[in-house]
Structure 1
């Protein structure tokens, strides 16, 4: 039995639910624990006896390595999208492509940005594609799954990161609502890539 591909609206709603209920990511938790540890340290009585370093060598090394892109200077995946003609095909037509479920949400965000850049972006939300094959942000994320990159669960986490970026910018509604009013493909791509870096930092 073939499972129907979820649509962009379902993905958007799932991201909103996750944002309300999801616990802190490991990266968030590590940052919080580091702050809490600093507050728990007892300061020396005399200012002259204060130490220059407030962290151990191991903590400093871990912090330094945590800022290194795990992919180095290269992208997480060599994105080779089918030609423009393939952009207008329904997503089920791409399912014959080899699937790799090991790709994390960060890779799906990177590929979604490539889809928006190469196949085009559309302002109308929650529509997988228009007649020209252009997609909204959520539509691009759903298409990554159809192209064999990651899973739908991963795409929901990817959308959660997009929503997190928008929340940081003060946006309180859904991704689709922002997509409708953002006004340019460059802004949509920029938000998607910012979410990609956010996911990488969270180890996802």
Structure 2
């Protein structure tokens, strides 16, 4: 009860610290999740952040980080000012979702011969709350092309995230039912640099 009176007193007489509006309702296992605060003019030494499971690391006066190791539905972030609880935020901890590669111009794994030149980049469709530092761009990939009968007509490696003119020409000569298989995809991101992913991609050519 005393804490409630103190909190009301703070609210009426001064600004209170709070959580940043940018904090996601979902954080991910095994990666650093940043928790930003608005100090609102309050002294940093009077502010403390606690959680009901795991350990927090203070990066600066208004930023903490947390690397969760287990999934949970209700992780409570508790913000204290002068030892009084002023705000609680509940988030869920989830595994990082597996994201599949896709070409910007494809239609559900299919591409028309007339649209080959506008196939675009090989990229990933990330969930809204996916950590920015884990979002990757394609560095290179292997291309394997077969005709309608499954006979290989091209195999090679591409640097970058899109087809070059040579491969575009090969694909444009395919008949309906030809297949383009993308594998050995190497990506790069801010957190882990270059790495190979297990995902592959297959496109079928339509007239």
TM over 0.5: no
TM-score by length of 2: 0.24
- Whichever structure has more helix as a proportion of its residues is 1
Relative CO higher for 1 or 2, CA cutoff 8 Å, sep ≥ 6? 1
- Whichever structure has more strand as a proportion of its residues is 2
